[in-house]
Amino acid sequence: MTKLLAIDSSTEACSVAVSVDGQRFVEYQVAPRKHAELLLPMVDSTLSQANISLQDLDAIACCVGPGAFTGLRIAISMAQSLGYAANKPCIAVSSLQLLAAEAFNLTENEICLSSIDARMNEVYFGAFQRDADGLPKPISPEVVVSPLEIELSSQYLSSAKLADYSEHQITLAGSGWESYSYGTLLNKIKQIPVNNVYPNAEFMIPLAERAFAQNEIINASKMRPSYLRNNVAKKKSAQN
């Protein structure tokens, strides 16, 4: 079976997971501003628990955002350094999709709306549907918007076809739901306590396994953060 290392520090939490022969070894801490000092020891610890070395890995998966700018740079730099050192390919995973992967693992719901607090009265948002493998399939663009704009804009929620599902088939995941108020439609949906306010690298494993099987891998030098906020700024600039 595929041997994978997964790394995330896109939010206040940082986590590392190693998968070997179907077993997962996980380190997870909510530790704002301590990611730089924690990640490498967590990598060493999980590899030691799995009784493998960096050279034994098939690939290194990393959460590339959206999320905290500094946290994203720390995790991606770590993945790149390890990839270079061991000559291993990398796999890029979205933090919003990672939240949905955990939600689908812990519930039987068909839809997950992921929202991460982006500060400045905005959230990073993405909608996902459970696919045939039980993994999250994007059904809306990943965007940075004001909370109310999610409901007011058909671009974000009509594509999720929420009307086709009852409120009990929809999960809200991520810190964005706890940080802001939303409109009438979203207020009807009760957040299921799946304990994934922040992403967890453990649930990156199945996403990375499928990506590796489908050869969706990149060279470590090609890893790039998905800030979204910068992308939006560029688009607005181009329109002026």
Per the DSSP assignment, residues forming a β-bridge with 90 are 60, 218
Calculate mean pLDDT across residues 53-58.
Answer: 98
pLDDT bin (cut points 50, 70, 90) of residue 140 is confident
pLDDT in tens, 61-90: 999 999 999 999 999 999 999 999 999 999
pLDDT of residue 160: 57
Q: Is the pLDDT of residue 234 over 70?
A: no
For the chain, count helices (H), then strands (E). Answer: 9, 10
Most confident of 65-74, 104-113, 137-146, 151-160: 65-74
Round to whole Å and give the CA distance between 217 and 91: 5
Round to whole Å and give the CA distance between 161 and 235: 27
What pTM was estimated for this model as a whole?
A: 0.90
Tell me phi and psi for residue 64, to 5 degrees: -105, 10
Most confident of 55-69, 118-132, 178-192, 226-240: 55-69
Round to whole Å and give the CA distance between 65 and 71: 9
Which of the pair, 207 or 141, is modelled with greater confidence?
207
Round to whole Å and give the CA distance between 28 and 167: 30
Calculate mean pLDDT across residues 202-224.
Answer: 97
Q: Is the pLDDT of residue 195 over 80?
A: no
